[in-house]
Amino acid sequence: MKINRDQEKLVELFIKQEVLIGSLYKLFAYRYPEYKVFWTKMAKEEHQHATCIRRLIERDPTDKLTFSQGELRSNDLASSIESIEGLISGFNNNKEFTITQAVGIALHLEKALWEKKIFQYFEGDCDEVRKIMDTLNLEQEIHIKKIVLFARQFQNDKS
């Protein structure tokens, strides 16, 4: 796949965003050991998403794969990344951060990615590309559902 420099920068930012979200979830796993299994799995899945995106751009250049950035610009993603980095920093520095807040942040991040249709910017005509994209889109939706279900146990919890 051939992509221009701006598109390459966007793809790298997509990857960085996924890695950072995974890092945030790892922090949640550490901070809330009673929910370690949930957050560790979520973190692992975020890192798998980053790996899938990387696989898309490292494909054979003769394959038909395009990256359609539409209205998305690198400063949009850079701003999102900066926000996630701020969350990580704030989480590290805030001893009073509750599990309810962590769940709310995770749900907000996942919904924001879903609404932006982050994983729909790649288009390809081969089965492997379609499979990767379908998987990423499905997993994004599943992450939202998992967090919503996880959050139910905290609906009446203000701690």
Domain boundaries, the chain: 5-154
Per-residue pLDDT at 155? 78
Tokens of 146: 């998992």
d(CA 107, CA 98) in angstroms, rounded, equals: 14
CA angle 74, 67, 128 (to 5 degrees): 135
d(CA 113, CA 68) in angstroms, rounded, equals: 16
What's the one-letter identity of residue 157? D
* CATH C-level class of 5-154: mainly alpha
**Low pLDDT (below 70) residues in the chain:** 1-4, 6-7, 59-73, 114-126, 156-159
Residue located via tokens 């850079």: 78
Per-residue pLDDT at 59? 63
Per-residue pLDDT at 159? 47
The one-character DSSP state at 137 is: H
